[in-house]
Structure 1
Amino acid sequence: MENSSSQVNRKQQLDEALVDMIVEDSQPFSIVDDSGFKAFVAKLDPTYALPSRQALKVMVDHKYEEQKQKAMAELQKTECVSLTADMWTSINMDAYLAVTCHYVDDKDNLATVLLGVRSFPKAHTAENLAEAKRLLFEEWGIQSKIKSLVTDAASNMIAIANNLKIRHVICIAHALNLVVKKSLDATPGLEDIRTRARRMVTYFKTSTTAKERLREKQEQMARPVKKLILEVDTRWNSTYLMLQRIYEEREPVGAALATLRTDVAPLTSEEYFAISECMKVLAPFQVATVELSEEKRVSGSKVIPMMKMLRYTINETLKTISNDTAMQLGQNLSRRLADKFSALESTSVLTLATLLDPRFKTFGFHNHIQAQTAIGRLTSECTALIRDTAHQTSSHSAQPDTAQNLESTGQDQLNLWELLDNDASNARRNKSATSDARGPALHDRSPTAAFC
């Protein structure tokens, strides 16, 4: 009996491990019908009987529902959440809508849960999209917790936020991608270099002989064997990586092409110089893109300071550029960066986050007038919060007095902070909520000094 029970437990453990593998590795249910996989499992444990494809699907569905209920319970503990949403079209031209929820859990860690990826056959109007999202919010019970919705700058996405009466925030990584892509496309001469670079990379990727010849030349030159990179239209930094790799491997690439029968010509020394100068201009944007994409914490407070640093860095870099193509690229980037992100310093959620981050405060702002406006906005919000807190405190029943507490806890539990607490309470009663929101002795300092 005991042996039978252990066999059942073993079967359950292996089934769960199989389900975890299917989910984590995105394996098809049909894997349990593959002869090679069956043989492999039989070698590991001859007593384990693989479930059928239909049984495996049921187990995965059960796992999904189980995890979904846990995620729902976790979200009910939170006070507020932020959402990100996007739409895309599959290779079969089917449209999909995805909504992801972000929140801080009870251990003060940033957590994320995917609310849903839904097929969207309807017209992509703001009304249809808003209704689909509203149903998701109701399903997860977060209607009253949503503080912001982050999307790209598409008009229908912005209209969704207005329709749902949710604060809208533009995805900075997406906006930065558009700024650089448009600047690249608007730079005369650079498109010709990119076209020739794409042709060269495509040749080495599609020709077995060329690929092998490049590897031989890299080894002969005692260089690491590296493949060339082809840019992707949707990601600007793939262009940077393509040009960077072409420039790094210019010697073995040129040597390989010289031994091959092809009409693909290597880039000239002038074109390679233009690439090196353009990479100087693009390097800060590559750093910013990687940092925004890899950030594991809330990055809202970093946006305004990062844009300020990009504007400063690009202007400093332009002083060291001598190539006309790179100079034009830098000017395009500087202009588009200012046009696209100048309004960020008036976006309340970002300005407040920057002020409250001790790393930045007002130093993170490019426009000092906007910094003063943000300080006033923060002061007003703190004032309202303090008034609400004071009202709630005054409505509570009186706490036992100090003598009663001492009798119950003993003299060894004397509150050493009691005098300070009393002094702070007295001082608070003698000050307005606005002055309290600004901070101690703020009336003797300028607003900027208070936050620097």
Structure 2
Amino acid sequence: MKPCKKESDVWEHFEKYDLVLDLKGVDRTKRKEVEKRAKCKYCNATYASDTKKNETSNMWEHLNKQCLHYPYRHKDKNTRTLAFDASKGNALVSRNFNKNDCLDACIRMVVRDELPFSFVEGEGFREFCSVACLQFNPPSHRTLGRRFLEMYTKMKEKLKVDLHSHRICLTTDTWISVQNVNYMVLTAHFVDFDYKMHKRILNFCVIDSHKWESIGKLLENCLIDWGHEKILTITADNVAVNTKAIEYVRKKING
């Protein structure tokens, strides 16, 4: 089966609709025809949008060169605004608007507050953004998901580098969800050079079963994926399957 073609980001700025055409003077069985159209969210200009006949280049051309209300085109790089920066003790700083920074902050909000990706498509959030920041156009849940995976990959590579300098202590746990799905989490704990304790989740995944073979193999694969060999301890619940699983991992590390 062929993978689904990724939808263009241009649809964050256009709305699809069907235009019914009344074809007079032709065969009565074919008097009406439906034309696929797209309407700009900023100026209501319309374009043909049949995916089998039309490309999205004309819509991008409209946004970048014609639409007078597109918030990301008319942007003076020298224009700065004052804002409170929470990372600097709510100090008042001057900054430029950056779409990518806003999108990354939106992703961090969704992750930290454990919100669904569809949250950004809610009417309340979009109304808030239209008042708080006119330049920021809330993304679709698809765009948010793609950006999230890109951010995850970068942060994972950075964490690999950070962990390389430390001996880590691992904790792991397994459980069954209300949907009767088995999950396992693997968490790393370490102390940095300033003697501060850190905790990082290395893996959160589905596991075949709670047998020691499945737990041991998954732990082994997780450690191989992270490429870390400086393991100080592995802690788990005091049950027989965990004892066998940890013994299996210990032999693999020492072997």
TM over 0.5: yes
* Offset from partner CA, 1:389-440 (integer Å, 9 cap, x none): xxxxxxxxxxxxxxxxxxxxxxxxxxxxxxxxxxxxxxxxxxxxxxxxxxxx
| Whole-angstrom distance in 2 between the partners of 1:147 and 1:20 | 31
**Aligned equivalent of 2:239, options 154, 159, 177:** 154
Task: Map 1:60-75; keep pairs closer than 5 Å.
Answer: 60-75=148-163
SS of structure 2 residue aligned to 1:156: helix
1:124 shift after superposition: 2.2
Distance 1:2 1:34, change over 3 A: closer
Distance 1:165 1:123, change over 3 A: same
Is 1:95 the counterpart of 2:167? The answer is: no
Is 1:117 the counterpart of 2:198? The answer is: no
Is 1:83 the counterpart of 2:83? The answer is: no
Aligned-residue sequence identity (percent) comes to 23
What is the TM-score of this pair, normalised by structure 2?
0.59
Task: Map 1:47-446; keep pairs closer than 5 Å.
Answer: 47-78=135-166, 80-120=167-207, 122-143=208-229, 145-165=230-250
| Whole-angstrom distance in 1 between the partners of 2:123 and 2:200 | 36
| Whole-angstrom distance in 2 between the partners of 1:6 and 1:22 | 31
1:113 shift after superposition: 1.2
Letter in 2 for 1:158: T
1:13 shift after superposition: 2.5
| Whole-angstrom distance in 2 between the partners of 1:107 and 1:140 | 24
Unaligned runs of 5+ in 1: 167-452
1:2 shift after superposition: 9.3
1:4 shift after superposition: 4.2
Larger RCO of the pair (alpha carbons < 8 Å, separation 6+): 2
| Whole-angstrom distance in 2 between the partners of 1:5 and 1:109 | 40
> Residue 309 of structure 1 corresponds to which residue in structure 2?
none
1:65 shift after superposition: 1.4
1:3 shift after superposition: 3.5
> Residue 123 of structure 2 corresponds to which residue in structure 1?
35
More helix by share: 1
* Offset from partner CA, 1:115-144 (integer Å, 9 cap, x none): 101101x2322122111100100111123x
1:99 shift after superposition: 0.7
Work out the number of aligned pairs and report it.
163
Root-mean-square deviation (CA, aligned residues, Å) is 2.1
* Offset from partner CA, 1:179-221 (integer Å, 9 cap, x none): xxxxxxxxxxxxxxxxxxxxxxxxxxxxxxxxxxxxxxxxxxx
Unaligned runs of 5+ in 2: 1-72, 80-95
More strand by share: 2
Letter in 2 for 1:162: E
| Whole-angstrom distance in 1 between the partners of 2:105 and 2:112 | 10
1:9 shift after superposition: 4.3
Please tell me whether Structure 1 or Structure 2 has the larger radius of gyration of its CA atoms. Answer: 1
SS of structure 2 residue aligned to 1:147: strand
1:90 shift after superposition: 0.8
Distance 1:138 1:95, change over 3 A: same
1:6 shift after superposition: 6.3
SS of structure 2 residue aligned to 1:82: strand
4+ long deviations beyond 3 Å = 1-9
* Offset from partner CA, 1:280-316 (integer Å, 9 cap, x none): xxxxxxxxxxxxxxxxxxxxxxxxxxxxxxxxxxxxx
| Whole-angstrom distance in 1 between the partners of 2:158 and 2:228 | 15
Is 1:23 the counterpart of 2:111? The answer is: yes
